[in-house]
Structure 1
Amino acid sequence: MDNHNHDSTEKAKRPRILISVDMEGVSGIVHPRETNPDGYDYGRARALMTAEANAAVAGVLDAEPGAEVWVADAHGSYRNLLPEEVDRRARLVRGKPRPLGMLGGIDERTDAVLFVGYHVRAGAGPGVLAHTMSDALLDVRVDGRSLGEIGLNAAMAGHLGVPVVLLSGDDAACAEVRELVPGVRTVAVKEALGQFAAAGLHPEEARERLRRAAAEAVAGREEVRPFALSGPVAVEVDLAAAHTVDLAVLIPGVTRAEGARSARTVAFTAPDFAQAYRVVLLLVQLGSIRPA
C-alpha cells in the first residue's frame, strides 16, 4: 500500500467540528456587568466561558478522538476566551471583524457545529440577557420569521450544509433551537427567571452535562439535518436608532420598509442566505457608530 495515499485518505476522513461560544448563556452569568469588559465581574465570566468551551471540546474528542476542533469566540469583541486556558487540542478563532462573525472558522468541510453559551432572541423569553446580535437590532425577520442569533447562525451553517447538533444556554434558548432544528441536543444550564435573573446549575455540573451531551451530539451528527433556508430571502430589520437607519440605506439594495410597523425598519432581498447574513452583520457594525 502507498503510505502517502493511506495517510491522505485518513486525513480526509478526519471530522471537523466547530464550537461557537457566546457568553450570556453560560452557567452563572445573568447580568451585563458580567459580560462587559468594563464590568466588575467580567474576569470571572471569562473563566466560566472558557471552562464551558473546554467541556464541549472534551466531549467532542470523547466521541471523535481524531477530530479537528475549532473554537470560535463569539461574544462581543470576540476576545473573551482566555487563550492560555483553552484546551490545547483545539484551534481558537478570535478577534473581529472576520468572515461569518460568530461562526468564524466554519466552511463546507465542517461536519457539525455546536452552540455553547447561547441566548434567546430579542423580545422573546423570559430569557437571560435576551438580544439579537447587539442592542442596535431590535428584531430580524427572514421571510416573515423572527430569527435571533440562534436562528441566524443555524441558517448560515445550514447554507454551508452544516447541522447544529447541540446548544447550551438557558431553558428559553434551548426551546428556541428545538423549534428550528429537529433532533438537536440541548443542555439547559439555567432556568430564566427574567432578563437579568436565573436559577442555574453549579458550573461544574453544567460542564459535566455539556461534555456528555457534546459527545452524544457529535456521535449522532448524521441524524440532524442542517437548518437551510432557500433563496432568495426577504429580510426586515428593526433598528433601535434613527441614525442607524440613515446609515443602513446607504447600503445598495437596503431601503426603508414600506408600510412597516416602525419608521426604523429597513428591508432588503438577498439571492441567498449567506448574503443576507453578511448584510445583517454589517448592520450590527453600523449600529455601533454614533453621530459625529
Structure 2
Amino acid sequence: MIVKRGETVTGRVLLVLLMAVTIIPFVSLFVTALHPSGTYPSGLAWPESPQWGNFVDAFQVANMGALLVSSGLIVLGVVPISLVFGTMAGFAFGHLRMPGHRIGFLAFVLGLTLPFEGIITPLYYQVRDLGLLNTRWAIILPLIGLFMPFSVVWMRAHFTTMPEELSEAARIDGASTWQLFWRVHVPLAMPALSSLAILLFLWTWNQFLLAIVLVDDPAKRTMAGALGAFQGQWGTNIPLLCAGALLILVPTLAVFLVFQRRFVAALLQGSSKG
C-alpha cells in the first residue's frame, strides 16, 4: 500500500501537535517550580534565578520519604496479588473454558462498566465495618477487587490466542493442569503479564480518591493521595506545589520510560494475534 506524501506530512504534523499538547503542561509545571517560593508566575517565562531548592523543600515539607515507603507497600500489596488472581482466572476463562465460563466472564466484563465513583460511599461503610479505616489495607483490598475485572479480561485475551496443540502435547507428556499453567503458559504470557504489571503499578501509585476518603493519615496514603493534604497546606505557594507534583510524577514516568518497549511489544503482540 502506497502512502501519499501529503498523508505522511499530515500524520507527522498531527503527531507533533499531540506531543506538544502532552509535553507543554509538564514544561509549565517545571518552569513554575523553579520560581521563587511564594510568587505567582504566569506563562512559561524562565526565572532569572532558578530556585532548584524548591524540590528539596517540597520533598521535606511533604515528608515524601515516608510517602515513598507507604506507596511502595501499597503497590507490593496490590500488584502481585492482582497479577496472580487475574492470570489464573484469565487462564480458566480463556484456555480451560470450564462450564459456565461465558457467564462468569460476562460478570467480569460488567465489572469494567461499574463507575468507580459510584461505589465509594458503600465502600467507605464496608471498610469502616471491617475496622480497616485509616490503614493501608483500606486501599489495598478495594484496589485488588477493583482491578480484578480488567486483569481477568486482559489475561483472557492472551490465553484465548494460545494454540490447543500446545496444551495437548503437554497433556500427553503427563502434565497436570497446574503444570500446564505454570510451566507452559505463564512463561509464554510474560509480555502480557509485564504490561499488566506496569498498568497496575501506575494506577496504584496514582490512586487518589480511595486514599483521601478511606485514610486520614497522609503518611499511610499513596503519594498522589498525600498531594491533597499537601495542597491544602501549601496551596497558595504555587512553585512549591508544582515542585511537589513533579516529584510525585517522577516514579511513574521513570517506570513507563524504562518499560515502554515491553509494554508496546505486548500491545503489538496482541494486535498481531487478534
Q: Which has the higher strand share?
A: 1
Q: Which has the higher contact order (CA 8 A, sep 6+)?
A: 2
- TM-score tier by shorter-chain length is under 0.3
Q: TM-score when scaled to structure 2?
A: 0.27
